[in-house]
Structure 1
Amino acid sequence: MSGQQSSPVYKIALGIEYDGSKYYGWQRQNEVRSVQEKLEKALSQVANEPINVFCAGRTDAGVHGTGQVVHFETTALRKDAAWTLG
């Protein structure tokens, strides 16, 4: 054993809604903007580490979402409001 302790990993679920007018759908894609990419960038800034979001659904280009649940794992300990308010 090396004696190093690893940071705990937190699994966080978020209920989200979004206006998809300016996006090419939910799922991350090369060369075009997606809701998933935008959300991951924002959460990564809050966590100060890369965040990958998981979701059990997709939308097409220009489609809005409401009541969509996503989750991610992080070692960042933040107050609940930080994840939604930045």
Structure 2
Amino acid sequence: EPAEPGTKIGNDVPVLMLQARHDNNVPYEGALALHRRLTGSRLVTADIRAHGVYGRGTDGLRPVPCADRAVNDYLRDGTLPAHDVTCPAAGRSER
């Protein structure tokens, strides 16, 4: 039995989700399951082996420019990508 009741999730707010495909701390399958439940969400997948996705270039790690753009657009004016996106680390081509 759960320690507390589950949280109801509303779909009336656009949600931007970021997830590294190879995150040892948070399995990708969990992000996919949540994404399916949040019907108004967009999933930006970084094809990297890491936990953090946004702002990586500032700490010496290989940045993920298309993920940074998606977050910056969302924070600036609430714009979501038109569809789910898979982003490579810098130096690789986007899919």
Q: Same fold (TM over 0.5)?
A: no
Question: More relative contact order in 1 or in 2 (CA 8 Å, sep 6+)?
Answer: 1
Give the strand-richer structure, 1 or 2. Answer: 1
Give the helix-richer structure, 1 or 2. Answer: 2
